[in-house]
Structure 1
């Protein structure tokens, strides 16, 4: 089996908008499914981003296979529909599925989740908890569940469903449901992974989210630095270029020695590009230090050329498998 910490079965992936959290969630699902594992990838925001990544039709409110991982593992995906989740809830606790459908026809379901947004999160996280704890013949149906969760600015409120529902109900099935969800989300079988870029705002939001999650007693997992660029020059040369800059005169002799003609304009353009790259790299290195200071396991995923297709997802999944292996060894 692939080297995945057996105690962590619910992997919640969040990140500032634009950091690629859905891509990372999909790649993580492929990594966790390696060597014959069964993994469920859950979408909570209704954007159908998972279907686009795996080039499949829009996902219905049912679990469908979207990929076969290395070694024959299977990734299934589910896009949670809040109305369908509420109908399930009404049937499970009140035997009122038929009445729930009538409520939906008159718009009451949408009204209820609008005036009580905490209820929406209870329904979403409740479905995640059900998938994590579901068993067949005495063993879990899924080896892991990966959740493409809301962005960092909303992640603590989304996961802390007991606190969100406290003002609405202090007893009854909704309270029981939210308490059961929190028992899973605050347990060692859950880890919240944060996706960031090496840019000021995503790194700051990641630090803020880690502080909020920790204060709420929610377990923080790894930090994933996404779309990291590789240095185009050796690092000592980059450091010198970042500090002192380059001019066309610095590069012109080498270009002339290479047999190029009329090198002045080309040398100036290359020097400007090299200096800009070096200074961006230096700024990223400073942000790497900030990420390291967060004191969480960290993995970098490269910026890949071309569109994000299934082949690219498998490449990112390979990097994440290596990270998981390192975490097990540690």
Structure 2
């Protein structure tokens, strides 16, 4: 099912947005993608915006804050940095930048005005969050006033909100339609929209080979495309390898008596003493596994029909610990991520 090669626009992307239904491993995939890009010699910034500190848990580091932290230095010369964007901190920074509030901004926070501003108008909150991404994407080497040429980061990977909120989050101008029609917030939203709709920004969809995640992913892809965003790859996570051969799966469709006799004979030949509970349990597990594989095949066909590049990632029996993220990173590289 995976594409043999990814399109050229994938290699040219500067901002990779990773979304997907909750529970499909979106944060893990975003981390693996960022590590894969860094291993090619790039300086990469990995960003989270939901405040769950999923990245710090993934890389086993202290909770990320408003300052960018180096997570990995790769022998290729690449670097992976991490950032957790907080809406309140972003608003305080915004007020200082545009209105020079200084200590007055802290006073507003104490009386709850900052919390009010970041919750009463979701569109403004999304502009603040994406505004930090916009700043990091456009930052030049050495910072403001530096004579060094080139961008500070070669690529950015955003662990975005889940599918149900991703379109609203990325379509910041629509969210501001009834909130701010003019002024600095609207101007910033226009600039952010330009970045998010640029062909160098790709939105990747993470899914599992299960009915609900696949259906939500396909619906989400249509909504993203309708919003004018550029689609990247469908990343199928946690692929389970078959434990039975095609001949064994075909045999499971036979009669119970024949299967019972065949399985008992194979257990005896393996030096085991078959019991009735053992045989019934193995047959039940075998049929469940065969049904799971058939479902995977059906869901894979629906994903292929969507017409997007497909990347497959294996299920990690030990989780992301003990080098699991590196395993997924290597898989992404092997399937053309650059």
Band the TM-score falls in, shorter-chain normalisation: over 0.9
User: SS of the counterpart of 2:303?
Assistant: helix
Unpaired segments of 5 or more residues in structure 1?
A: none
Which one of 200, 203, 215 corresponds to residue 226 of structure 2? Answer: 215
CA–CA distance in structure 1, aligned partners of residues 30 and 208 of structure 2: 15
Match among 58, 66, 77 for residue 61 of structure 1: 66
CA contact under 8 A between 1:224 and 1:300: conserved in structure 2?
A: yes
Equivalent-residue separation in structure 2 for 1:194 and 1:74 (angstroms): 24
In structure 2, the partner of 1:252 is 264
Range moving further from structure 2, 279-288 or 269-278? 269-278
Partners of 2:21 and 2:164 lie apart in 1 by 7
Structure 1 counterpart of 2:120: 115
Distance 1:236 1:155 in 2: 43
**CA gap 1:310/1:138 in 2 versus in 1, 3 angstroms:** farther
Query: For residues 236 and 184 of structure 1, do their structure 2 counterparts lie closer, same or farther at Cα, with a shift above 3 Å needed?
Result: farther
Which runs of at least 4 in structure 1 moved beyond 6 Å after TM superposition?
Answer: none
Deviations 1:192-220 (A, max 9, x none): 11111111111011011101100000111
Of residues 94, 101, 107, the one that matches 2:99 is: 94
Q: Give the match's secondary structure for 1:71.
A: coil
Aligned to 2:191, the other structure's residue is in SS state helix
Task: Choose which of 133, 142, 145 in structure 1 pairs with 2:153.
Answer: 142
Are 2:321 and 1:321 aligned? Answer: no
Q: Equivalent residue for 1:202? A: 213
1:32 aligns with 2:37: yes
Match of 1:294 among 285, 290, 306: 306
- CA deviation string 1:290-319 (max 9, x = no partner): 111111111111111123226000000011
Whether the aligned pair in 2 keeps the contact of 1:16 and 1:195 (CA below 8 Å) is yes
Deviations 1:102-156 (A, max 9, x none): 2112110110111111111001111111111111222111111111110000000
1: CA distance, partners of 2:98 / 2:17: 26
Residue of structure 1 in register with 2:83 after alignment: 78
1:224 lines up with 2:235 in the alignment: yes
The structure 1 residue matched to 2:204, chosen from 182, 193, 199, is: 193
Aligned-pair Cα RMSD in Å: 1.8
Of 143-152 and 88-97, the range deviating more from structure 2: 88-97
Structure 1 Cα separation of the partners of residues 199 and 103 of structure 2: 38
The residue number in structure 1 matching 2:162 is 151
Residue 20 (structure 2) pairs with residue 20 (structure 1): no
How many residue pairs align between the two structures? 323
5+ unaligned residues in a row in structure 2: which ranges? 1-7, 142-147
- CA apart distance, 1:263: 4.8
After TM superposition, the structure 1 stretch with the greater mean CA deviation from structure 2, 134-143 or 91-100, is 91-100
Report what 2:287 is aligned to. 275
**TM-score, scaled to structure 2:** 0.91
The 10-residue stretch of structure 1 (282-291 or 250-259) with the greater mean CA deviation from structure 2: 250-259
Could you state the TM-score of these two structures normalised by the residue count of structure 1? 0.93
CA distance in 2, matches of 1:153, 1:5: 24
